[in-house]
Structure 1
Amino acid sequence: MFCRYFSFFGLCLFLPTQRSSLGHGSSLHGRGTASLPGFENLTMGYNKYLRPYFGGEPVQIAMSLDIASISSISESDMDYTATISLRQRWTDPRLVFHGNKSFTLDARLVELLWVPDTYIVESKRSFLHDVTVGNRLVRLFSNGTVLYALRITTTVACNMDLSKYPMDTQTCRLQLESWGYDENDVTFTWLRGNNSVHGMEKLRLSQYTVERYHTLVSKSQQETGSYPRLILQFELRRNVLYFILETYVPSTLLVMLSWVSFWITLDSVPARTCIGVTTVLSMTTLMIGSRSSLSKTNCFIKAIDVYLGICFSFIFGALVEYAVAHYSSSQKCAAKVPEEGPANELTEEMEEVNITNILKNSITSYKQKISFTSIEISSDNVNCSDLTMKNHEKIKCALRNKMHRIIGYFTIQNPGNVDHYSKLLFPLFFMVVNVFYWAYYLYF
């Protein structure tokens, strides 16, 4: 046995003293030992700075992926973090040797081989695992095929559309591209199409479920040329059950709680006011809490924001309904008091004053001023066709009559009917709005 130094690997190998002559691709044989590549001849003429088939046809690189995990899917940062095992295969005729076996080499020897300059498009942060040693694999096959595997954790950008959050489905990509070699130098292919990706069906994510995934082969057109690109595209559907229990159910119950005030009499001002104000404040707190979790995505009008806005509108409407009903009831009570008061005062005055003398003294002045004072003090419709009225006075009279008719149309004659109709209209309208809301965001 003797120690021979090979410049290709920079190693000292102990080989048998009796060995066969090595031609290109020949192998060493020892008694009872497996065939080893002819390292001497592999060093001859090999240049790691030149790709295989340099100056000729492009190198075909087949890839496959093992997805270990997809985590930290961030809506605020629009990215996801994945741990993958990237395997690349290509054939280098300079590494052909006799035999039908493959040999796994020390990962540190990859520095002495030509490897593709593959990078992850749209990657924000990436690193190779190095515990306990660098997680890399180099395997040589007798036909010159090289298998090069890496274990990588990367954070990749993913443009998300949050308009249907939390009933959304996001489509993310993992793109692999050659950095310096264009399509005239290398070509990228998936090793077995969709079957080149493993582990996606076994993933268990906290908020998402992997709906489907597929592989694509594309090209990236840039100023410096056309570069090969492989794409893994997958769809993530958000699990909405958590948000139903956390947000949708509490907000719906708050709306229903605001309807309790319709069954309380109008005279119970503290009770109805307390219910209205409490539900409004609780709904406001719920809205602030739902938006604080996605503080950096407030530019989106999300589906959950629409629903919370609907619930807040119904709760606020219930509070306004009581204000309208109570105001109408107060106005009606106030209108009854003057009708009884002047009648009693008039009776007392008639006992003290001679009505005949009053009529004689005031009849003349009353006839002169009746046409003007009727316009100023009457709250009812007046006759605007008086010939003594000027044009602008007739216009004011017509507008006043129009306003009286409009106000009379919206005047609530029976304030008790406000609560009676609200008991039916508020729940019915809320159910209709919910039907349209869920139908739109789930099926459109």
Structure 2
Amino acid sequence: MYSRYFCLFCMWLFLPTQRRCTLGQKTDGDLHSSDTTSLPGFENLTMGYNKYLRPFFGGDPVQIAMSLDIASISSISESDMDYTATIYLRQRWTDPRLVFHGNKSFTLDARLVEFLWVPDTYIVESKRSFLHDVTVGNRLIRLFSNGTVLYALRITTTVACNMDLSKYPMDTQMCKLQLESWGYDGNDIVFTWLRGNDSVRGLENLRLSQYTVERYYTLVTRSQQETGNYPRLILHFELRRNVLYFILETYVPSTLLVILSWVSFWISLDSVPARTCIGVTTVLSMTTLMIGSRTSLSKTNCFIKAIDVYLGICFSFVFGALVEYAVAHYSSSQKCATQEPQQGSTKEYCKETEDVNIIDILNSSDSNYKRSISFTSIEISSDNVNYSDLTRKTHDKIKFALRNKMHRIINYFTIQNPSNVDHYSKLFFPLFFMLVNVFYWAYYLYF
């Protein structure tokens, strides 16, 4: 019985000593044992390691080297002016408290991140972000023997991108992905790209629905805030929109509608229903096309885009073709109304009769003017000259001269032959439309 109590006392006596060996420095037997479950250097996490203090606390700043893999850019929204991307963010730094002997590296369970110090990196101008957690949190911690820590994350983020849509859909957008320290300023942390521009991968292999990645480059800068001067890494990437879709969807239909409106120039003025139907149909079709083109960009109505300019040009030509017929038809009806009706006169006779010549009216007025001049000379040659009548006749001369000038101006703008309106429109509308297209495409593609 006494021997049993003695054994229990010995076990109680030596138990704290064994615990101190496992939590502190290991014995030589432990180092050479093959069944140990602890990692080399892992005991430093439980002895004297403070995760709330950065490496080199109170001394030199920590060098954080970063690299990115762009897995995908799922959507680019012009209405919200942002893009959504899935990235693999990798951060490397050296912590002298985690140095261990050997030349191996060890990958730890991601849940051990809670026991380590990690940088407080955040994505500038991020609207929404989340860390993937299927099947577990997509994080990686790897320790190297020299104290280097690799911390990798898989993040999906929606980042703001200020876009200039004045040349839409022939625009090129420059978006940014910015990484910055939230709490540590430049005295505590220094951000660098691991391999310069080669630190970013995946952009050259992306296939986007509406865009093509033209080029990208990296920058290292600092952000001056009220609370300090913080390090920042910037990735610039240029996106060029693929215009072929919009050419087939908008530009070709609107151009064909303009050409369709010119068909009315080859229809006679007597075919009122045919010409009116073509004009009204093309105007309504252009209106529908303009409304449809703005549906996807309903929140950016403040921008006057290139596609809006082109649709406005096409609408002006279509509406001008309709107005051209109204002018020609009105001029034709006015000419028929000024002719003297005859017995058995028909519409054809109205078209074939000669126009009222305004020169005849001016000649009759000129003869009246000469007759009044002769009367005035007779009165002046008489003995009794009436100066008041002379003054009144001078005013009549001025009124006659002004009336003559007005007749000439009206005659200049009067359409003598309404059928010539269609003849000139057949040539003027296509040539002017081609000229406007040359200036339009040259400006938005090269300027």
**Which letter maps to 2:253?**
P
**Which whole-Å deviations, capped at 9, do the CAs of 1:330-351 have from their partners, x for residues lacking one?**
122222226x69xxxxxxxxxx
- Which residue of the other structure, out of 426, 429, 447, is the alignment partner of 1:426? 429
Worse-superposed segment, 390-399 or 150-159: 390-399
1:144 corresponds in structure 2 to 147
Question: 1:393 and 1:111 mapped to 2: Cα distance?
Answer: 106
Q: Structure 1 segments of 4 or more deviating over 6 A?
A: 32-35, 377-386, 390-395
2:438 corresponds in structure 1 to 435
- Which residue of the other structure, out of 297, 303, 326, is the alignment partner of 2:306? 303
**8 Å Cα contact 2:45/2:115 also seen in 1:** no
Q: Percent identity over the alignment?
A: 85
- Is 1:313 the counterpart of 2:354? The answer is no
**8 Å Cα contact 1:167/1:442 also seen in 2:** yes
- Which residue of the other structure, out of 312, 332, 346, is the alignment partner of 1:329? 332
**Which whole-Å deviations, capped at 9, do the CAs of 1:143-189 have from their partners, x for residues lacking one?**
00000011110000000000000000000000000000000000000
Question: 1:195 and 1:264 mapped to 2: Cα distance?
Answer: 66
- Is 1:62 the counterpart of 2:65? The answer is yes
**8 Å Cα contact 1:28/1:36 also seen in 2:** no
2:136 corresponds in structure 1 to 133
Question: 1:315 and 1:381 mapped to 2: Cα distance?
Answer: 48
Aligned positions, number: 393
- Is 1:73 the counterpart of 2:76? The answer is yes
**8 Å Cα contact 1:255/1:315 also seen in 2:** yes
TM-score normalized with structure 1 length: 0.83
Question: Residue 153 of structure 1: SS of its match in structure 2?
Answer: strand
**Which letter maps to 2:418?**
P
C-alpha deviation, 1:225, in angstroms: 1.2
C-alpha deviation, 1:61, in angstroms: 0.1
**Which whole-Å deviations, capped at 9, do the CAs of 1:8-53 have from their partners, x for residues lacking one?**
xxxx9xx8xx96459xxxx944349899323223432211111000
2:234 corresponds in structure 1 to 231
Counterparts of 1:46-125 in structure 2 under 5 Å? Answer: 46-125=49-128
1:28 and 1:317, CA in 2 relative to 1: closer, same or farther beyond 3 A? farther
1:435 and 1:100, CA in 2 relative to 1: closer, same or farther beyond 3 A? same
Question: Residue 33 of structure 2: SS of its match in structure 1?
Answer: coil
1:166 corresponds in structure 2 to 169
**Which whole-Å deviations, capped at 9, do the CAs of 1:51-100 have from their partners, x for residues lacking one?**
00011000000000011111221000000000101000000000000000
1:185 corresponds in structure 2 to 188
Question: 2:92 and 2:300 mapped to 1: Cα distance?
Answer: 41
Question: 1:319 and 1:309 mapped to 2: Cα distance?
Answer: 15
1:395 and 1:61, CA in 2 relative to 1: closer, same or farther beyond 3 A? farther
2:408 corresponds in structure 1 to 405
**Which letter maps to 1:172?**
C
C-alpha deviation, 1:290, in angstroms: 0.6
**8 Å Cα contact 1:19/1:30 also seen in 2:** no
- Which residue of the other structure, out of 238, 241, 244, is the alignment partner of 2:244? 241
**Which letter maps to 1:72?**
S
- Is 1:175 the counterpart of 2:178? The answer is yes
Question: 2:366 and 2:234 mapped to 1: Cα distance?
Answer: 78
**8 Å Cα contact 1:28/1:37 also seen in 2:** no
- Which residue of the other structure, out of 155, 158, 164, is the alignment partner of 1:155? 158
Counterparts of 1:247-396 in structure 2 under 5 Å? Answer: 247-337=250-340, 387-389=390-392
C-alpha deviation, 1:247, in angstroms: 0.4
Taking only aligned residues, the RMSD between alpha carbons, in angstroms, comes to 2.9
1:411 and 1:117, CA in 2 relative to 1: closer, same or farther beyond 3 A? same
Question: Residue 327 of structure 1: SS of its match in structure 2?
Answer: helix
Q: Structure 1: give runs of 5+ residues left out of the alignment.
A: 6-11, 342-373
**8 Å Cα contact 1:19/1:29 also seen in 2:** no
Question: 1:429 and 1:232 mapped to 2: Cα distance?
Answer: 46
Counterparts of 1:31-42 in structure 2 under 5 Å? Answer: 31=34, 36-42=39-45
1:85 and 1:379, CA in 2 relative to 1: closer, same or farther beyond 3 A? farther
C-alpha deviation, 1:390, in angstroms: 7.4
**Which letter maps to 1:319?**
L
**Which whole-Å deviations, capped at 9, do the CAs of 1:255-299 have from their partners, x for residues lacking one?**
000000000001111110110011001001100111121100010
Question: 2:396 and 2:231 mapped to 1: Cα distance?
Answer: 85
Question: 1:68 and 1:58 mapped to 2: Cα distance?
Answer: 31
Question: Residue 114 of structure 1: SS of its match in structure 2?
Answer: coil
Question: Residue 292 of structure 1: SS of its match in structure 2?
Answer: coil
**Which letter maps to 2:302?**
C
Question: Residue 284 of structure 2: SS of its match in structure 1?
Answer: helix
**Which letter maps to 2:338?**
A
Question: Residue 338 of structure 2: SS of its match in structure 1?
Answer: helix
C-alpha deviation, 1:392, in angstroms: 7.4
Question: Residue 406 of structure 1: SS of its match in structure 2?
Answer: helix
